[in-house]
Amino acid sequence: MTADRSFAAAPRALPHDEIDELVGVPYQNSLGDDVYFPSRDGYVEICEALKRAGFATCRDLCGVDYLTNPGRALPDGVTPQRFEVVVVLLSHQRARQVRLRVMVPEDDPVVGTLFSVFPGTENMEREAYDMFGIRFDGHPDPTRILMPEEWEGHPLRRDYGMGRVPVQFKEAPGPR
């Protein structure tokens, strides 16, 4: 199996009418899912517009670190960056989801918070900050959630020092 299968060439999963126009950003069909690539500045506004269009719930929000895989398949007009924030929105009425992937540069890992649009992203954004060091501008409680408060580093980054702390699993060998 090869790694260069292009998702952009696949036919669109659903008839794209008002959502396409509403979002107006590069689109990709990823294995049948609708994926949009909003810019970092326009991302919160697009989420607000989608909420007005019925996408009332944020299903999931997580960070991804593409440090080891920078050359991934992206649609035209999207510059790959090290981090991504992936948001999955859900409309109960349409029983339909859309996914947004926001590029977040390594040297300035800040995006706007979705807290005011979807209060349910509060824990998820804290987790993304804790695990990747992506800061959410305007979040009411930008603290660590899973790791201890005084922890250094962000464990899910690809360059995090795994095995940095030596752990002894067996009894230490004797003098012989």
Partner 1 sequence: MTIEYEDRSQKGAGVDLDAPDEVEERLKAETSEGPQELVPLDRTDPRELAIETGGVLRVPESMVLDPDARDVSFGDGDTMILNLGPQHPSTHGVLRMMVELQGETVLRSKPVIGYLHTGMEKTGEALTYVQGATNVTRMDYLSPLPNELVYSLAVEKLLGVEIPPRATWIRMLMCELNRISSHVTWAATNGLDLAATTMMIFGFRERDLVLQFFEKTTGLRMNHNYIRPGGVAAELPDGWEDDVEVIVDTVGARLNDYDELITGQPIFRERTEGVGVIPPDLLVALSATGPLLRASGVPWDLRRSMPYLAYDEVDFDVIVGTVGDTFDRYAVRLNEIRESIKIIRQILEKMPAGDYRAQDKKVTPPPRARIDESMEALIHHFKLFTSGIEPPAGETYVAVESPRGELGCYLVSDGTNRPMRMHIRAPSFVNLQSVPAMLRGGLIADMIAILSSVDPVLGEVDR
Nearer to partner 1, 41 or 151 (CB): 151
Query: Least distance from C-beta 71 to partner 1, angstroms?
Result: 10
Q: Decide whether 134 or 176 has the Cβ nearer to partner 1.
A: 134
Q: 132 near 154, Cβ under 8 Å?
A: yes
Give the residue with the Cβ less far from partner 1, 12 or 41.
12
The whole-angstrom separation of Cα 155 and Cα 101 is 21
Minimum CB separation from partner 1 for residue 20, in Å? 19
- Least Cβ distance, residue 152 to partner 1 (angstroms): 15
**The pairing of beta strand 83-91 with beta strand 57-65:** antiparallel
Identify which of residues 68 and 173 has a Cβ nearer to partner 1 in the complex. Answer: 68
Find the helix or strand (DSSP H, E) in which 33 lies: strand 33-36
CB-nearer residue toward partner 1: 135 or 144: 144
Structural contact between residues 58 and 88, judged by C-beta atoms closer than 8 angstroms: yes
Least distance in Å: CB of 176 to partner 1?
Answer: 34
**Residue numbers of the site for partner 1 (CB under 8 A)?**
1-5, 7, 30-31, 33, 56-60, 62, 64-66, 68-69, 72-73, 86, 88, 92, 95, 97, 99, 118-124, 127, 131, 140-141, 143-149, 155-156, 160, 162
Smallest gap from Cβ 57 to partner 1, in A, equals 5
